C-alpha cells in the first residue's frame, strides 16, 4: 500500500504525550507513528462542509502542519453543516474562523493559510511539499484541478464529495492507483448537476464523509491499514448503507495514464444554468417586477417543491413542481406568456425548455430565481 516517506525524527513534549496517549497505546500508531503525524504536512482544500470535520480531526490527531485553502466568508446558511464555524463568526473570513477554532483545539498544530481561490496558476506551488491533499471542494472545476495537480506533483488525494443524502470517498493519484479522471474523464455540462444550495444536503453527511477522508489521510501518513486506493466508497445516509466499488487505473486516462495533461487548466464548470434553448427568453427580477406593476398579463409558474413554496413564494404564482410539469401541461395556459421560476434559475430553465418542446410559444425564465427576487425586489421574503 502507499505511504508517506518518513521525515526527520521529532520529539513529543510531555503535554503532547498526554494529549495523544490514546493514539500512542495503539500498536499500529505507537510513539513513532505519533511523531510521524507531528512531522506530517497535510493540505485541506476548502474549509466548508467536508473541510470542517477533516481539519478538526486532523488537528486533534496531532498533524503538525495543516494547510487550508479557502477564500470565502462564513454565512448563516453554512452553520447547519460547517462545524468549524459558529454564529459568532458569521461574516468573518472562513480562514480566520477556522484558525481560531483549530488552534484552540490543538495549539501544537501549525496552520498555514491560503486565502485564495485554488487556480491553475497557484495550485502546483501550493500543493508541492505536502504529504497528502484532502479535497473538500464543492464544485467540479476545482475538483478536476486538485486531481490534476496531485497527479503532476505525486501527492495522494483523499477525495470526498456529497449531495443531498449521498456521499463518495476514495484515494486518488497514488503511484499505482487510479485518479479521479479514471472514474470521471470529463466534467458534466454546466447545469447538469445542481449544487447543495439548489439540491440541499443533510447536515451530518459531510461529517460522515469528511471523517472518512481524515481517516484515509492519517492512514496514508502512517502507512497502516488498507486505504481506499482503487476503490470508491459510496455512502447512503438515508438507508445507512456503505458500498465499495472497484476503480481501475485507466491506461488511457489523460492525467495518470497517457500523461498528456502536462499543465493545469482552469475548467469553467458552473452550477448555473447553461444557455437557454431557442424559444426561451430570460428576464431579470427587476424587469419582471416592473412588468407586474404595469399590469402586464402573464402566467407565473413556480417549479420548486412544496416545502420550498411554504418558505417563500412570489405573490400570484402557481406551484407545479418540476417533476410534474410534463403531466400538468393542461393547467398551464398556451395563450399567455408563461414566466417560470425556481430557487436559483436551473430547474426553471429545465421546465421552460420542456414547455417549448411541448409547443408553448411564449416562455420566459426568471434569471436567478426567487433568490434574485428577494435580493432585488422583495427583501422581506425568507431566505433558505
Catalytic sites, residue numbers: 196, 342
Query: What residues pair up with 337 in beta bridges, in sequence order?
Result: 298
What are the phi and psi torsion angles at 298 (to 5°)? Answer: -160, 160
DSSP letter string over 242-276? EEEEE----TT-TTTTS----S-------SSPPPP
Dist CA 229 CA 70 (whole Å): 26
Residues forming beta bridges with residue 319, ordered by sequence position = 302
Distance CA 130, CA 156 (A): 9
* Burial call 135-167: b when 16+ CB within 10 Å, e when fewer: bbbbbbbbbbbbbbbbbbbebbbbbbbbbeebb
Taking CB atoms within 8 Å and a gap of at least 24, the contacts of 272-276 are 272/190, 272/191, 272/344, 272/345, 272/346, 273/190, 273/191, 273/345, 273/346, 273/348, 273/349, 273/365, 274/189, 274/190, 274/191, 274/349, 276/349, 276/352, 276/353, 276/365
Amino acid at each position: 500500500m502507499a505511504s508517506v516517506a518518513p521525515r526527520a525524527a521529532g520529539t513529543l513534549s510531555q503535554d503532547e504525550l498526554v494529549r495523544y496517549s490514546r493514539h500512542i497505546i495503539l500498536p499500529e500508531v505507537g510513539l513513532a507513528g505519533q511523531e510521524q503525524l507531528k512531522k506530517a504536512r497535510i493540505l485541506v482544500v476548502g474549509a466548508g462542509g467536508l473541510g470542517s470535520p477533516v481539519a478538526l480531526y486532523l488537528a486533534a490527531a496531532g498533524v503538525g502542519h495543516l494547510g487550508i485553502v479557502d477564500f470565502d466568508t462564513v454565512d448563516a446558511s453554512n452553520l447547519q453543516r460547517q462545524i468549524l464555524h459558529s454564529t459568532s463568526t458569521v461574516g468573518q473570513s472562513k480562514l480566520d474562523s477556522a484558525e481560531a477554532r483549530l488552534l484552540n483545539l490543538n495549539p501544537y498544530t501549525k496552520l498555514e493559510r491560503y486565502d485564495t481561490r485554488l487556480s491553475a496558476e497557484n495550485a502546483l506551488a501550493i500543493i508541492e511539499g505536502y504529504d497528502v491533499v484532502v479535497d473538500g471542494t464543492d464544485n467540479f472545476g476545482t475538483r478536476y484541478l486538485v486531481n490534476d495537480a496531485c497527479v503532476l506533483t505525486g501527492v495522494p488525494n483523499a477525495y470526498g464529495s456529497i449531495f443531498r443524502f449521498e456521499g463518495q470517498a476514495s484515494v486518488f493519484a497514488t503511484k499505482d492507483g487510479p485518479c479521479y479522471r479514471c472514474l470521471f474523464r470529463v466534467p458534466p455540462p454546466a447545469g447538469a448537476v445542481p449544487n447543495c444550495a439548489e439540491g440541499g444536503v443533510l447536515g451530518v453527511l459531510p461529517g460522515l464523509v469528511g471523517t472518512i477522508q481524515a481517516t484515509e489521510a492519517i492512514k496514508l501518513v502512517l502507512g497502516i491499514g488498507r486505504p481506499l486506493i482503487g476503490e470508491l466508497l459510496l455512502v447512503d445516509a438515508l438507508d445507512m448503507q456503505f458500498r465499495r466499488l472497484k476503480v481501475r487505473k485507466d491506461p488511457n486516462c489523460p492525467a495518470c495514464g497517457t500523461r498528456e495533461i502536462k499543465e493545469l487548466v482552469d475548467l469553467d464548470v458552473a452550477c448555473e444554468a447553461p444557455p437557454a434553448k431557442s424559444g426561451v427568453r430570460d428576464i431579470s427580477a427587476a424587469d419582471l417586477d416592473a412588468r407586474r406593476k404595469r399590469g402586464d398579463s402573464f402566467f407565473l409558474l413556480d417549479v420548486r417543491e412544496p416545502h420550498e413554496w411554504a418558505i417563500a413564494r412570489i405573490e400570484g404564482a402557481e406551484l407545479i413542481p418540476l417533476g410534474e410539469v410534463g403531466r400538468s401541461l393542461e393547467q398551464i395556459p398556451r395563450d399567455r406568456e408563461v414566466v417560470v421560476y425556481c430557487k436559483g434559475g436551473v430547474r426553471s430553465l429545465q421546465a421552460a425548455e420542456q414547455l417549448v418542446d411541448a409547443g408553448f410559444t411564449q416562455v420566459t425564465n426568471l434569471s436567478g430565481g426567487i433568490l434574485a427576487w428577494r435580493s432585488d425586489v422583495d427583501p422581506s421574503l425568507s431566505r433558505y
